[in-house]
Structure 1
Amino acid sequence: MIMKKIITTILIGGFTLALAACGNEPASTNPQQPSPQAQEHKATSPVATATSYKSLFQNTVFLGDSITEGLSFHDVLDEGNVLAGAGKTAEFALEDIDELTKRDPKHIFIQLGSDDILWPTDNPKEYSIKNYAKLIEMIKEKLPQAKITLLTVTPVTAEAEKQEPRYKNINDYNQGLKELADKEHIGFTDLSPIISNGTDLYDSDGIHFKPKFYARMLDQLKDQVN
């Protein structure tokens, strides 16, 4: 009988200690409290980053072609901050002036040219730059307080250039954009350094881009909208 009481006492004591240990469990292992790793993941999640970009560029409009359209397609920016579409050229962008004026942005980034250099005319660059200049003048007239910045045509992969040799004219076209920006006394930003370290940012066609390209692009431009 005495031995049975001793065993019972030991079992009760062990059970009590186990309960005490559970009650003193560190907060980091409590299911209701996320671990430091989980908190860090949440803080750097794509959703949180996208939200910060949308806030930073809330008074901005990106005017451009299908490359630019990727900003809203990948939900990096809201559609209200992107005025772009596939096949858009400097000439076609003239039709967007009324809509651009309606949005009344403080900052306008223009990224056109990837379709212009493919335009079936004797001198695509000259033709495009002429319309580009007209576009800039119309924006200055309608939105005199807006800050305008031209963005370069992004390079394509070697395979894409092989399939469409006219892409070899991208560097020459970008030089024309720089000269235009200088002449019009507006901003100019070269985007090529973003993709100078590899091709992992490209989509499968070697022309368009994955979401992380747009994050890097906005990182490069964010100081211009502060």
Structure 2
Amino acid sequence: MNMTKKRMITLLIGIIAISLAACGPEGGQKPGSVTQQKGADPAASEQASYATLFQTSVFLGDSITEGLSFHDVLEEANVLAGAGKTAQFALEDIDDLVKRKPKHIFIQLGSDDILWPTDNPKEYSLTHYAQLIGMIKEKLPDADITIIAVTPVTAEAEKEEPRYRNIADYNQGLKELAAKEQAGFVDLAPNIADHPNLYDADGIHFKAEFYPLMLDLLKDQVK
């Protein structure tokens, strides 16, 4: 047998082997094939829905807010946040915020503010918070502003850091500030109380599953 015939036979055997591997009984598609897995991933679909709903929004905040992009619930372009961020430090983000041209701005600050080493952390923070809102109104006059209350911590976290007991009082200050500035105000605490399993190990931050719940509670603010 010459080399040409050998090559043709080898090629024919290869084609038959590939055909048999691709087919199951009676020539059907093999289980687990791409054709049988065309269904969309529900989590990916939900994420795309939030990305669309909040595509003209920016979330300005601390490490809790940062979880929105860290867990890939929203794009980084829609989240302007970082660990240790306070109302005072957020003033440095104004130029970046303006560049993003948001129609809706959600501010979630205070978790670090109430720990600030000053005689009156609440007063100190709310003074800068009011300044922050004033600058946003000046540079983005058509944007809607919603203040999100500081999220509660677990009893264990509060025991470890007693200053977290001031969260309710601080949130009352935020609520009054929102009314004064004619901004929206949303308190997530009642819903978090129904889902204690969403806390991360430190009892302060949250697992990825928390953020879709958070956005569900905020979606009316962008309609």
TM-score computed with the length of structure 1 as normaliser? 0.82
- Equivalent in the alignment of 2:15: none
Deviation at 1:194, TM superposition (A): 2.2
- Equivalent in the alignment of 1:166: 163
One-letter code of the match for 1:168?
Answer: R
Change (3 A) 1:59 1:122: same
What is the CA–CA distance in structure 2 between the aligned matches of 1:125 and 1:169, rounded to whole Å?
9
SS of the aligned residue for 1:204 comes to: coil
Change (3 A) 1:183 1:31: same
Deviation at 1:96, TM superposition (A): 0.4
- Equivalent runs, 1:6-155 vs 2, <5 Å: 34=36, 39=39, 42=40, 44=42, 46-155=43-152
- The structure 1 residue matched to 2:210, chosen from 202, 210, 213, is 213
What is the CA–CA distance in structure 2 between the aligned matches of 1:186 and 1:70, rounded to whole Å?
23
Change (3 A) 1:131 1:31: closer
| CA-atom RMSD in angstroms | 1.9
TM-score computed with the length of structure 2 as normaliser? 0.83
Contact preservation (8 Å) 1:53, 1:76: yes
SS of the aligned residue for 1:63 comes to: strand
Deviation at 1:32, TM superposition (A): 7.0
- Equivalent in the alignment of 1:14: none
What is the CA–CA distance in structure 1 between the aligned matches of 2:213 and 2:32, rounded to whole Å?
37
- The structure 1 residue matched to 2:176, chosen from 179, 195, 201, is 179
For structure 1, the 5+ residue unaligned runs are: 1-21
Change (3 A) 1:32 1:96: closer
Change (3 A) 1:31 1:130: closer
Give percent identity, aligned residues only. Answer: 69
What is the CA–CA distance in structure 2 between the aligned matches of 1:137 and 1:100, rounded to whole Å?
14
Deviation at 1:196, TM superposition (A): 1.0
Between structure 1 and structure 2, the one with the greater Rg is: 1
What is the CA–CA distance in structure 1 between the aligned matches of 2:74 and 2:34, rounded to whole Å?
33
Q: Deviations over 1:182-215 (max 9, x none)?
A: 0111100111122111421011111000111100
Aligned residues: 198
Deviation at 1:52, TM superposition (A): 1.0
Deviation at 1:43, TM superposition (A): 5.2
Q: Deviations over 1:9-36 (max 9, x none)?
A: xxxxxxxxxxxxx69x9x9x9967648x
